[in-house]
Copies of this chain bind each other. A is one copy, B any other.
Amino acid sequence: MTLSAKAIADRGGVVRVGLLGCGHVGSALVRLAEANAASIEARAGVKVEVAKVAVRNLAKERDVDLDPGRFTHDADDVVADPSIDLVVEVIGGIEPARTLILSALAAGKPVVTANKELLANFGRELFETAEANGVDLLFEASVCGGIPLLRPLRESLAGDRIRRITGIVNGTTNFVLTRMTESGASFHEALAEAQTLGYAERDPTADVEGFDAAAKAAILASIAFGTKVVAGDVYHEGISGVSPSDIESARELGYVVKLLAIAEEVDEEIAVRVHPAMVPVNHPLAAVKDSFNAVFIEADAAGSLMFYGRGAGGMPTASAVLGDLIDAARNLAAGSRGATMGAPVKKRVRPIDEVASQFYVMAEVADRPGVLAAIASAFGEHGVSIKSMQQQGISEEERKNGDARLIFVTHKAKERDFEATMAAVRQLEPVHRVGSILRVVGEDE
């Protein structure tokens, strides 16, 4: 029997938890653990007691039913307290969360965290410290809040081979794009609505420019492919450039526009990026609306899978944290451990230039013979194959001016080749303008 298991048994099967942070997620966790105490004990085989809570502001009112004596300013003290068996970190951000978690792991205490930013940047350091000390480090809540996702990836699919993950992992941008699609609103109008409803922050940059999704993509890629991918490795574009006419064009062609995080393994390399994309309306991701998240997984044996739910919010996130906490508490009391990350396999992260996508592009051209041939040649010279071309409806005035609008969708082509193609197309005399360019994702090739 391990020392921790003995201490827990001596206490009558009580696991003493140190909680770091008691904001939305932390207080929801305390309430949820209290409300479901009986079923948690039945499943974990032990009682889970939130014994100490570290907070920045002791004076703040909190909607939790805990003895005020359990609150402290001193997070280091919570981690160092020998009577604390297990640490839950819901402070967020890099420091002091990183140092606190490393200390807890070094002291042989399992850690449950919801910290996306930390995992996406220092995940490997944390996994290695957990491994070296033989303790659990669980982080289901760090990606897509309440959706069980990392556990299925790590455990249920452990014998399978994941090829690609395509996710709607940011609720704010999905809400904005849904509003733009359903009401024809502009990006700024839809964003303002999201802010009014509390779906977007005052400074929405991290969401709308794809930083948040990139961090989640890094974590997903690390887990799915057993390698090290950090947030900085992830190419990302946001949705601020998506226009109502892009969305309308997508609709006419049978697509919806979604902000996607994509991670795939191609020829032993990892390609991972975040960008808006056109998704076929009959693809399961197309039906994911409002602030919901969903992650579509393609695996060799299991085939296509999708996990759908609330990607954020205090209660959904607390549900995920508590699932991890019960798992870690049960393991600790049994003197065992859950699944580990294993040693990472070194794989090159492919630069975006080399990543292949299908592209949609609109070009405004002079409506005269030979134009299409000239454009098609430019595509052909750069090795980009055209899958479909169609002329888009234009106004009477444009027609009188002898203008036409052409829409191209390509087969898969490398970003570099497509960019070279666009540079060449822009040089063509009859091409007035190359309009929006969007990648197309989820189509059968």
Contact = CB atoms under 8 A, between A and B. Distances in A.
B336 A157 contact: no
A303 B226 CA distance: 30
B316 A43 contact: no
A125 interface: no
Given A301-B318, A305-B147, A310-B302, A323 B159 contact: yes
Contact of A151 (B43, B151, B305, B345): B151
A39 B340 CA distance: 12
Given A151-B151, A151-B152, A307-B307, A325 B32 contact: no
Contacts of A159: 32-33, 36, 40, 319, 322-323, 325-326
Nearest to A43: B158
B316 A302 contact: yes
Nearest to A336: B336
B339 A330 contact: yes
A320 interface: yes
A344 to B, nearest CB: 10
A299 interface: yes
Contacts of A330: 339
Interface string A271-300: 000000000001010111100101000011
A9 to B, nearest CB: 15
Contact of A303 (B302, B303, B309, B337): B309
A137 to B, nearest CB: 15
Interface centre among A152, A156, A336, A337, by most chain B C-beta atoms within 10 angstroms, is A156
Contacts of A35: 161, 300
B334 A337 contact: yes
A146 B331 contact: no
B308 A158 contact: no
A43 to B, nearest CB: 5
Given A161-B36, A320-B156, A323-B160, A303 B146 contact: yes
A299 B147 CA distance: 11
A309 B306 contact: yes
Contacts of A32: 159-160, 301
27 contacts: A35-B161, A36-B160, A36-B161, A40-B158, A42-B343, A43-B158, A43-B342, A44-B158, A148-B156, A151-B156, A155-B326, A156-B320, A156-B323, A282-B289, A284-B288, A294-B306, A301-B315, A302-B309, A302-B316, A304-B309, A305-B309, A306-B308, A306-B309, A327-B339, A334-B336, A335-B336, A336-B337
